[in-house]
Amino acid sequence: MWYLCVFYHRLLDYRKPEFESLADLFGAFGDKGSSDPHSQDKALQWRLPKGHHPDSPFHFVHLPSEDIARNIANRSLLVKGIYELWGEGNDYEELEEAVKSYPDDRKLPYLTPGCTFKITVDSFGKVLSLQEQNERIQGFSYIPFKGRVNLKNPDHNFWLMETDAHETNNGLPPVVQRRIFFGREVGVAGRKLIPMYQLKTRNYLGPTAMDAEIAFLMANQAQAAPGKLVYDPFVGTGSILVSAAHFGAMTMGADIDIRVVRDGRGPDCNVWSNFKQYGLPMPIGLLRADNNLPPWRPGLKEMFDAIICDPPYGVRAGGRKSGGRKLLKGIVGPYTVPDDKRADHIPSTAAYTLVECVHDLLDLAGRMLVMNGRLVFFYPVLREDGYVENHFPEHPCFKLVATSEQMLSSRYSRVLLTMVKTSSYTEEVSLAARIKHLEFKENHLKWLENGNLHSSVFSPADTESGDSKASKESKPKYRGKYV
């Protein structure tokens, strides 16, 4: 059945991927236990209201049941509400026609004398005064409501939504056209998650702690749920694991910096206290480990249902890997720490480029994820001419199912990539990874010099700014809403 889905008008790139991931989690694509990952190209059918632009908050989506629709709406961060549409039109006459011709067997069960109801008026692209809202509600006298009105906690909530074209945006056509929708609410968002978990009040923060809203979006992309084990190889202060734990998953994390993971800032200000703050179950394992040389036993694989992380891009926080700087540059040979110093020695680490970091992450995920498990991570990209280069990392075990861009500055964005494991981690894949790992090690210096994201982001603007300004104007975009 077709439902009207109204999104919050923000993080536009993230809306549909989140919706589709949740739809999959709640069984919209049939048998969840189906082990064939290639079974069908799991995608929902979407339609736009007449005259609306894809960036519009209003979309029609086809879902197999109302339960699924409600589950998606309740868990989603970006869905404002899902409605069973009783009618739509360009003006109130058309709307009345449409509602009157909507089948009675879909309407009457919600109009019975025993139940309570309420009509809410909402608008997008215009403002309706309280008086105007009341007039519109009175206009529905043709619907045979038999129950009583209850404004606080009605059994059924009906929504009247008016959209209108507001002033043009940047010379761009408006996102919506004039259209009126009337429908029965099936599910609404629970946005109170965000004020509850916001970083402002978080106990233990680090410079790259993940924003609460984005952390929940990541957990939704990864389909975190009770009974699943989620891993973050760059756990830091645990901000991503907190959102996975909120949705009931068991969590585990590692970090190369032992101070962040073990000590925190004190006995009441560390990763554990972040979970305690929200009454969430603690991670079942935290360890200090290097993703470049992970401590897993040989033969260990397919342990995690999802890997969710934000790897270091080398812009605001650089990654580190084992093997001192001078060692990798070939300046000194490996040195042996004297026995009496071995216990407290903190091994030196070297710079870990993004390329190698992502290679190791994909290798880890390929090996340690169950089949159909999800890898969700942020990947930084430079924006040239207002356009993002689409060269995302690839791996034989994975299929890329979603990319969502979040602009960080005019120079660069980060894209949330969602990959599903569709092939097993064979000997061949493992061997190729080992060869690549050695290649990185041999050519450490060369990798350091090339592809340094930090300098591209922070270098002074190009002197040919005249050119780039012109091209910016030629390709306008609804920039604000992609943030």
Partner 1 sequence: MRLLTHNMLSSNIKGVANGFPLRIEVEKVVEKEVEINHDFLRNIFPKIDWKALSDASRIMGYHELPEEPPEPSVLEADIEFLRKFHHALLELHLEEGALLCPESGRKFPVNKGIPNMLLLEDEV
289 binds partner 1 (CB under 8 A): yes
- Closer to partner 1 by CB, 351 or 408: give it: 351
285 binds partner 1 (CB under 8 A): yes
User: Rounded to an integer, what distance in angstroms lies between the CA atom of residue 10 and that of residue 480?
Assistant: 8
Runs of H (alpha helix) within 187-292: 193-197, 212-221, 239-246, 258, 271-277
Strands (E), 297-348: 304-309, 319-322
Q: Are strands 148-149 and 304-309 parallel, antiparallel or unpaired?
A: unpaired
262 binds partner 1 (CB under 8 A): yes
Q: Is residue 387 a contact partner of residue 475, using CB atoms and an 8 Å limit?
A: yes
DSSP string, 101-118: HS-HHHHGGGS-TTSEEE
- Closer to partner 1 by CB, 148 or 262: give it: 262
435 binds partner 1 (CB under 8 A): no
Restricted to residues 301-320, the positions that interact with partner 1 (CB under 8 A) are 301-303
**Region near partner 1 per CB under 8 A, out of 82-90, 170-178, 283-291, 422-430:** 283-291
- Closer to partner 1 by CB, 335 or 458: give it: 335
391 binds partner 1 (CB under 8 A): no
- Closer to partner 1 by CB, 182 or 304: give it: 304
397 binds partner 1 (CB under 8 A): no
User: Which residues does 20 contact at the CB level (< 8 Å), separation at least 6?
Assistant: 42, 43, 44, 402
Angle made by CA atoms 427, 441, 319, in degrees to the nearest 5: 100
256 binds partner 1 (CB under 8 A): yes
The correct pick among 286, 381, 416, 433 for binding partner 1 (CB under 8 A) is 286
335 binds partner 1 (CB under 8 A): yes
- Closer to partner 1 by CB, 69 or 397: give it: 397
Min. distance of Cβ 40 from partner 1 in angstroms? 25
- Closer to partner 1 by CB, 282 or 432: give it: 282
First-to-last alpha carbon distance for the chain, in angstroms, is: 32
CB burial class (10 A; 0-12, 13-18, 19+) of residue 17? buried
The correct pick among 214, 240, 250, 362 for binding partner 1 (CB under 8 A) is 250
Which residue, 11, 8, 7, is CA-closest to 414? 11
- Category of 238 on φ-ψ map: left (φ > 0), alpha (ψ -120 to 50) or beta: left
Give φ, ψ of 106 to 5 degrees. Answer: -90, -20
User: Rounded to an integer, what distance in angstroms lies between the CA atom of residue 362 and that of residue 352?
Assistant: 15
Q: What is the DSSP letter of 29?
A: T
The correct pick among 74, 169, 322, 403 for binding partner 1 (CB under 8 A) is 322
284 binds partner 1 (CB under 8 A): yes
- Closer to partner 1 by CB, 332 or 445: give it: 332
The correct pick among 13, 84, 213, 290 for binding partner 1 (CB under 8 A) is 290
Restricted to residues 153-192, the positions that interact with partner 1 (CB under 8 A) are none
The correct pick among 38, 152, 342, 475 for binding partner 1 (CB under 8 A) is 342
480 binds partner 1 (CB under 8 A): no
Question: CA separation (Å) from 320 to 203, 234, 239, 323, 458?
Answer: 26, 11, 20, 9, 20
The correct pick among 42, 80, 184, 288 for binding partner 1 (CB under 8 A) is 288
**Region near partner 1 per CB under 8 A, out of 37-45, 55-63, 343-351, 381-389:** 343-351
Look up residue 404 and give its two tokens: 């969502």
The correct pick among 228, 246, 374, 395 for binding partner 1 (CB under 8 A) is 228
Site string for partner 1, 348-387 (x = CB under 8 A): x---------------------------------------
Restricted to residues 208-227, the positions that interact with partner 1 (CB under 8 A) are 226-227
49 binds partner 1 (CB under 8 A): no
Residue tagged 């996102």 (tokens) = 175
| C-alpha 245: how far from chain center | 15
Residue tagged 């009454």 (tokens) = 279
Count CA atoms closer than 13 A to 276's CA, side-chain side: 9
Min. distance of Cβ 370 from partner 1 in angstroms? 8
User: Rounded to an integer, what distance in angstroms lies between the CA atom of residue 406 and that of residue 409?
Assistant: 9
List residues binding partner 1 (CB under 8 A): 226-229, 250, 252, 256, 258, 261-263, 281-282, 284-290, 293-298, 300-303, 322-324, 327, 334-337, 342-343, 345, 347-348
